[in-house]
Amino acid sequence: MRMIRAAIAGASGYAGGEIARLLLAHPDIAVGALTASSNAGTRLGDIHPHLTPLADRVLLDTTVETLAGHRVVFLALPHGASAAIVDQLAGDVIVIDCGADFRLADAQQWQHFYGSSHAGTWPYGLPELPLPLGHKGREALSGARRIAIPGCYPTACTIALAPGFVAGVLETADVVIVAASGTSGAGKSLKPHLLGSETTGSMSPYGVGGTHRHTPEIEQNLSAAAGQPVTVSFTPTLAPMSRGILATCTARVRPGVTEATVRAAWDAAYGDEPFVHLLPQGQWPRTADVLGSNNVHLQVALDERTGRVIAVTAIDNLTKGTAGAAVQCANLALGLPETTALPTAGVAP
């Protein structure tokens, strides 16, 4: 079978480099053009030394001409940069956008949180998203030509709580989420507050008070699962690690809900999912256990005293949180087995 060529725009960043890493193991997709902005003209190996098979590739300018001729184009660009490129790509090209440009359906929410014009809405790239009447998010992705990859926080938080809303066991108000992310979630650009001397041995909150840009995306996903609006209080924190997200998500249960009912709802949602693993009771997710994998580790419990469900997820923000989801969705769009080239074992210690 002839290899499918895929270009990666923004290959010098963390997400772009992770896409390249995963594609190196893909039996059906070959890495084509690798592009960048300020790093154009640089050897990839000077930026991503771990990508040894691609080390001598020179990063090209991110232009429509460079991206043309590829069956798949992965966009790992800053927010707001994808729309202008997409408009010039042929309609039969599969475009997988890892940025936020096409995730939100509500133009007003986009304008409020991102401060620019809304570019539109694409099929949302979370295949495992449980929806009413037994549907899943992947139904909109098979054969799609434009796919918006979720944010890393929304991936962890949505998978944590969506089963409870689909099953009708959770209240739609008073949803509280506190999540910790590694520093790679902020990208590769130099930022003083992300220096090792600032982050080592310290945790700090940011985007406090409902201001984080992923808040409307989390609410959009949980509302789709519930079939009615869901409001969320979301507080992200920065953890002294390079990769990973640990999301602790709580919501009130409806009257009469038991521990058995809760576990049955989550098991029904994800029992046949290859990447989402509801852990045995008593075992809790750790970011170290999903490092480098496309897995989501999940645990759920009912606090009977307060009448709240606590759902905790761990993901690698660069794999399942971004690049792994991008490759997973590309597989679905191309009609390939969904799990192709996606690691299901983490790296330890």
- DSSP string covering 98-150: -SSTTT-S-HHHHHHHH-S-------B--TT-B-GGG-BGGGGTTT-SEEEPP
Angle between helix axes 152-166 and 259-270 (nearest 10 degrees) is 120
Domains of the chain: 4-122 (3.40.50.720), 153-317 (3.30.360.10)
User: How far is 154 from 222, CA to CA, in rounded Å?
Assistant: 10
Q: Can you give the pLDDT at residue 185?
A: 82
Q: Is the pTM of this model over 0.85?
A: yes
Which of 255, 256, 236, 258 has the alpha carbon at shortest distance from 246? 236
In the chain, the percentage of residues whose pLDDT exceeds 70 is 99
Among residues 182, 166, 314, 164, which one has the least CA distance to residue 252? 164
Q: Reply yes or no on whether 152 is catalytic.
A: yes
Given the structure tokens 């002839």, which residue do they identify? 2
Instruction: Please compute the mean of the pLDDT values over residues 115-128 and round it to a whole number.
Output: 96
pLDDT value of position 309: 98
CB count within 10 Å of CB 151 equals: 23
Calculate what percentage of the chain has a pLDDT beyond 90.
91
Q: How far apart are CA 319 and CA 70, in angstroms?
A: 23
In 3D space, the residue among 349, 114, 328 whose CA is nearest the CA of residue 341 turns out to be: 328
Give the pLDDT of residue 79.
87
Query: For residue 95, with 0-12 CB atoms within 10 Å meaning exposed, 13-18 middle and 19 or more buried, which class applies?
Result: buried
Selecting among 98, 152, 157, 249, the annotated active-site residue is: 152
**Packed helices 107-114 and 215-226: angle between N→C axes, nearest 10 degrees:** 160
Predicted confidence (pLDDT) at residue 228 exceeds the cutoff of 90: yes
**Which token pair is 144?**
């799609």
pLDDT at 187 over 90: no
Provide the pLDDT for residue 10: 97
**Has residue 191 got a pLDDT over 80?**
no
What would the pLDDT profile of 236-264 be if each residue is shown by its tens digit?
A: 999 999 999 999 999 999 999 999 999 99
Q: What is the mean pLDDT of the chain?
A: 95
pLDDT band at 199 (very low <50, low <70, confident <90, very high): confident
**Per-residue pLDDT reduced to its tens digit, 54-79:** 999 999 999 999 999 999 999 999 98
- Angstrom distance (rounded) from CA 332 to CA 195: 38
Mean predicted confidence (pLDDT) in 130-141? 97
CA 215 to the chain's CA centroid? 14
CA geometry: angle 89, 90, 94, nearest 5 deg: 85
Given a cut of 80, whether residue 188 has pLDDT beyond it is: no
Q: Answer whether residue 189 shows pLDDT above 80.
A: no
pLDDT given at position 190: 66
Alpha carbon of residue 216 to chain centroid:
15
Strand partners, 35: 9, 60
